[in-house]
């Protein structure tokens, strides 16, 4: 008998609910007895080949993509437990949404897209909402969970939920499953990172989004998208979401400025909040930005920044311990979302003042008689430039040098490697060129790609492919007034080499090197 075909998400959800008394899974390794398994062909593996195995392990039902089933021997399986569905991957979010009772409709859903700033913006927005008595979860590169302050570590921490697959935007099935749990636990909002790849691969399918945020657009993932235009349009697709109410867009970015104009013309029903951190029209700021930064200044002794924000509802002074002009941009986006939602400015300002750094994002270690260390996730040319520009300002205040430790990831966009190395050499006094996550590539081949961006004269460059040694040596030769930037991996707790993830945390290696420096 031929495997039956279902045609609509509601029909599919009803079929699954009649059989499944556990969860839905898109990963055969996580299927437990009573679960439902949705399977389609992937880039490296056709998950439909796992159907016999998961059925043997107690799966209650399997739904498979119907393309080419006859060639896999799946077209005549137990018709009570196996059905097919056309283009299942793109429909899986809608099916999971219906199966779990449309949980995103019970949350104020925010999706943040852009090349840089997604993680910090999402964590800070989530933490501000929690301070305002609106329980808010977060989904992104560092996991799924809720954010809370860790005063002992002087940074935010994530109380993580299990099952994070390491993707910036998790698969649609896992996302809807977790949203249902958060709704049942009393959460009122969720802020998530929307990667360009996640958007193209339909990982947000089925979500009811209330607010979309755009940070910036700089080169990244061009190996996946194929062109700059395709990369930009993937980001822009978030703002075409049916039912979207609010769009917050950083218009100092040329792509963001064009996106805002497009939305204002094509989607008049959308509440578009344009945001600019450029001070003064003469300096190029858009005079029509609804949220405008003025009066930005550094606080004494590197204690943070102060500024004034103007918007149609008035003006407000803000103070933050966070460093970096790019973090000002992120805070303005957070502020704009909350003003669009009508939350009280004074309470929002108080909550922003209490924000702490995100792990691995401008994370500061050392100082007080030992070298200053900054650990940051910067892994694009633009992000490297912004981090090092900020650290140069800090180093000027201590009359120190900037020493950078940086590598580039394997099996990722190779075109950015020489550009990242050029920024590191240009903005540093010393540059330690090392490995990142080489994955399946030869670390020396990656280093040679990076070296094509180096020039003479420039900062002295030391090649040390062992990242642990590069960190240790860079800190060992630093002076107390110097600043060592360890860039590229942020809070990643591993280094991936030839398919194996070895335990590795930049901050831990930096702390060990600082202890050795103090003892020397």
Name the residue ranges covered by the structural domains of the chain. 5-99, 103-353, 363-519
**Eight-state DSSP code of residue 446:** H
pLDDT value for 93:
97
Whether residue 76 is predicted with pLDDT greater than 70 in this model: the reply is no
> Quick one: tokens of 377?
């996730």
- What is each CA distance from 123 to 21, 41, 118, 216, 327, in whole angstroms? 34, 33, 9, 17, 12
pLDDT tens readout for residues 77-94: 667 899 999 999 999 999
More confident residue, 304 or 472: 472
Mean pLDDT value of segment 139-166: 84
Q: Which of 14, 71, 62 is nearest to 40 (CA)?
A: 62
pLDDT tens readout for residues 120-141: 999 999 999 999 999 999 999 8
Mean pLDDT value of segment 262-276: 97
More confident residue, 171 or 502: 502
pLDDT value for 323:
87
Q: In 37-152, where does DSSP find H-type helix? A: 51-56, 88-99, 118-131
Whether residue 283 is predicted with pLDDT greater than 50 in this model: the reply is no
Residue 430, classed as helix, strand or coil, is strand
pLDDT above 70 as % of the chain: 95
Cα separation, 149 vs 183, whole angstroms = 22
pLDDT tens readout for residues 181-224: 999 999 999 999 999 899 999 999 999 999 999 999 986 666 77
pTM: 0.88
Q: Identify the helix (H) or strand (E) that includes residue 45.
A: none
Q: How far apart are the first and last CA of the chain?
A: 76
pLDDT above 90 as % of the chain: 80
> Quick one: tokens of 428?
């540093």
Burial class (CB in 10 A: 0-12, 13-18, 19+), 67: middle
Q: Identify the helix (H) or strand (E) that includes residue 363.
A: strand 363-366
| Per-residue pLDDT band at 298 (split at 50, 70, 90) | confident
Whether residue 509 is predicted with pLDDT greater than 70 in this model: the reply is yes
Whether residue 486 is predicted with pLDDT greater than 50 in this model: the reply is yes
pLDDT value for 163:
67
- What is each CA distance from 475 to 470, 483, 492, in whole angstroms? 9, 9, 20
- Class of the domain covering 103-353: alpha beta
Mean pLDDT value of segment 277-289: 62
Which residues are CB-contacts of 517 (< 8 A; sequence separation ≥ 6)? 370, 371, 475, 476, 478
**Domain 363-519 fold:** 3.90.190
* DSSP result, 297-352: EEPGGG--EEEEEEETTEEEEEEES--SHHHHHHHHHHHHHHHHTT--HHHHHHHH
Cα separation, 74 vs 84, whole angstroms = 9
pLDDT tens readout for residues 444-477: 999 999 999 999 767 799 999 999 999 999 999 9
Burial class (CB in 10 A: 0-12, 13-18, 19+), 452: exposed
Q: Using H for helix, E for strand and C for coil, what is the string for 190-228?
A: EEEECCHHHHHCCCCCCCCCCEEEECCCCCCCHHHHCCH
**Buried residues in 351-382 as b, exposed as e (16+ CB within 10 A):** bbeebbbbbbbbbbbbeeebbbbbbbbbbbbb
> Quick one: tokens of 297?
């200044």
Whether residue 264 is predicted with pLDDT greater than 90 in this model: the reply is yes
Mean pLDDT of the chain: 92
Q: Which of 69, 72, 96, 97 is nearest to 83 (CA)?
A: 69
Pick the CATH number of 5-99 from 3.40.50.1700, 3.40.1390.10, 3.40.50.2300, 3.30.70.2190: 3.40.1390.10
């Amino acid at each position: 008998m031929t495997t039956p075909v279902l045609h609509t998400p509601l029909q599919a959800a009803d079929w699954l609910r009649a059989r499944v008394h556990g969860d839905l899974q898109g990963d055969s390794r996580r299927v437990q007895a009573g679960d439902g398994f949705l399977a389609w062909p992937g880039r490296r593996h056709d998950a439909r080949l796992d159907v016999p195995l998961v059925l043997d392990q107690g799966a209650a039902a399997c739904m498979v993509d119907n393309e080419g089933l006859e060639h896999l021997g799946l077209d005549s399986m137990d018709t009570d437990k196996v059905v097919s569905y056309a283009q299942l991957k793109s429909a899986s979010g809608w099916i999971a949404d219906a199966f779990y009772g449309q949980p995103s409709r019970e949350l104020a859903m925010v999706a943040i897209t852009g090349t840089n700033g997604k993680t910090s913006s999402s964590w800070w927005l989530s933490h501000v909402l929690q301070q305002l008595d609106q329980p808010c979860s977060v989904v992104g590169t560092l996991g799924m969970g809720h954010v809370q302050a860790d005063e002992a570590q002087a940074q935010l921490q994530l109380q993580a939920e299990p099952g994070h697959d390491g993707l910036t935007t998790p698969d649609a099935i896992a996302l809807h499953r977790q949203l249902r749990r958060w709704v049942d636990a009393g959460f009122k909002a969720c802020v998530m990172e929307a990667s360009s790849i996640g958007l193209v691969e339909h990982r947000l399918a089925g979500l009811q989004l209330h607010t979309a945020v755009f940070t910036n657009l700089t080169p990244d993932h061009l190996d996946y998208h194929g062109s700059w235009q395709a990369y930009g349009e993937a980001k822009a697709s978030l703002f075409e979401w049916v039912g979207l109410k609010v769009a917050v867009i950083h218009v100092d970015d040329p792509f963001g400025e064009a996106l805002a104009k497009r939305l204002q013309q094509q989607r008049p029903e959308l509440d578009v909040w344009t945001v600019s951190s450029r001070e003064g029209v003469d300096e190029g700021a858009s005079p029509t930005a609804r949220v405008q930064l003025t009066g930005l200044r550094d606080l004494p002794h590197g204690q943070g920044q102060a500024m004034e924000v103007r918007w149609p509802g008035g003006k407000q002074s803000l103070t933050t311990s966070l460093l970096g002009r790019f973090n000002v941009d992120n805070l303005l986006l957070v502020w704009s979302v909350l003003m669009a939602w009508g939350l009280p400015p004074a309470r929002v300002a108080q909550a922003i003042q209490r924000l702490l750094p995100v792990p691995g994002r401008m994370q500061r270690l050392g100082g007080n008689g030992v070298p200053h260390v900054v650990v940051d996730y910067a892994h694009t040319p633009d992000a490297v430039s912004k981090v090092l520009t900020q650290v140069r300002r800090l180093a000027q205040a201590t009359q120190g040098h900037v020493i950078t430790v940086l590598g580039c990831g394997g099996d990722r966009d190779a075109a950015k490697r020489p550009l990242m190395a050029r920024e590191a050499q240009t903005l540093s006094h010393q540059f330690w060129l090392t490995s990142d996550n080489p994955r399946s590539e030869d670390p020396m081949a990656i280093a040679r790609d990076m070296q094509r961006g180096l020039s003479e004269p420039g900062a002295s460059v030391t090649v040390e492919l062992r990242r642990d040694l590069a960190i240790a040596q860079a800190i060992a030769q630093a002076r107390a007034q110097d600043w060592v930037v360890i860039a590229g991996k942020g809070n990643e707790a591993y280094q991936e080499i030839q398919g194996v993830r070895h335990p590795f945390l930049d901050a831990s290696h930096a702390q060990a090197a600082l202890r050795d420096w103090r003892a020397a």
